[in-house]
Chain A
Amino acid sequence: TQLLEQSPQFLSIQEGENLTVYCNSSSVFSSLQWYRQEPGEGPVLLVTVVTGGEVKKLKRLTFQFGDARKDSSLHITAAQPGDTGLYLCAGSISSGSARQLTFGSGTQLTVLP
């Protein structure tokens, strides 16, 4: 059983469309991170959120941490082919070690030109 559930697992959209991917858990996280991974490469950190209700923007990407710190969402506005990749959320459990991250299984996004 995945501690962090990501949905959808796969998403294919046309350039210019908007999309939202979700990261959900029954556990409370002290912090949550989003990574993007391109084929043949390691994950690259996009953002870290630490406060319940926190919203962070990175150009056309908007990240939100749920009020209860159990879930997060990533919204992309006007998606571009360069946004294609595997999006992973990862969280530090409040009762656990901040040294360890638990990763979701990822959302594979394909943006078609």
Chain B
Amino acid sequence: NAGVTQTPKFRVLKTGQSMTLLCAQDMNHEYMYWYRQDPGMGLRLIHYSVGEGTTAKGEVPDGYNVSRLKKQNFLLGLESAAPSQTSVYFCASSQIGRGVHEQYFGPGTRLTVT
């Protein structure tokens, strides 16, 4: 049982390049999330999904797209990377328990855009 996994762990992009971050979970969770973490800013929600085939915008969605074609996978895409997207990206998944979504996080992807 691996929980939540993310690939890649590190990536360096040049401005304007594109890439896709992959998140996979093996807990059969309905909900999945993408966050970015910047110094002094905590975790900010980019996009989330409440089930296979669904996606929704979070707090900071601009410049990112997502897809949830399979229940266990949640992809985050950057079509044209910008230096402002340099950050650590975390994926999480959750299931309802007592109406509360307790989230399980992956190890993160450190992205640098030059």
A and B form one complex: yes
Please give the residue numbers on chain A whose beta carbons come within 8 Å of chain B beta carbons, in ascending order. Answer: 2, 4, 9, 30-31, 33, 35, 40-45, 48, 50, 88, 90, 92, 98-101, 103-106
Q: Are B105 and A42 in contact (CB under 8 A)?
A: yes
Q: Contact check: which of B35, B42, B92, B100 meets A92 at CB < 8 Å?
A: B100
Interface size on B, residues (CB 8 A): 27
Do A43 and B100 touch across chains, with their CB atoms under 8 A apart?
no
A33 close to B102 (CB less than 8 A): yes
Whether B40 lies near A105 (C-beta < 8 A) is yes
Residues of the A chain whose Cβ atoms lie less than 8 Å from the Cβ of B92: 42
Measured between alpha carbons, how far is A47 from B96 in the docked complex, in Å?
15
* Stretch of B43-51, B65-73, B75-83 on the interface side: B43-51
Residue of B nearest to A49 (CB): B100
A107 to chain B minimum Cβ distance, whole angstroms, is 11
- CB contacts (< 8 Å) of B105 on chain A: these are 35, 42-44
B61 CB–A CB distance under 8 Å: no
Contact at B101–A98, with CB atoms within 8 Å?
A: yes
Whether the Cβ atoms of B99 and A98 lie closer than 8 Å is yes
Nearest A residue to B3, CB-CB? A42
Q: Are A103 and B100 in contact (CB under 8 A)?
A: no
Closest to B91 in A: A42
Tell me the minimal C-beta distance from A85 to chain B in angstroms.
13
Contact assessment for B31 and A43 in the assembled complex, using a CB-CB cutoff below 8 Å: no
- 26 inter-chain pairs at a CB distance below 8 angstroms, sorted by A residue, are A2-B42, A9-B40, A30-B100, A31-B100, A33-B103, A40-B107, A40-B108, A41-B107, A41-B108, A43-B43, A44-B105, A45-B104, A50-B98, A50-B99, A50-B100, A88-B42, A88-B43, A90-B43, A90-B103, A92-B100, A99-B50, A100-B48, A101-B45, A103-B35, A103-B43, A103-B44
A-B complex: 9 closest residue pairs judged by Cβ atoms: A42-B105, A105-B42, A103-B43, A103-B42, A31-B100, A43-B105, A42-B90, A42-B106, A42-B107
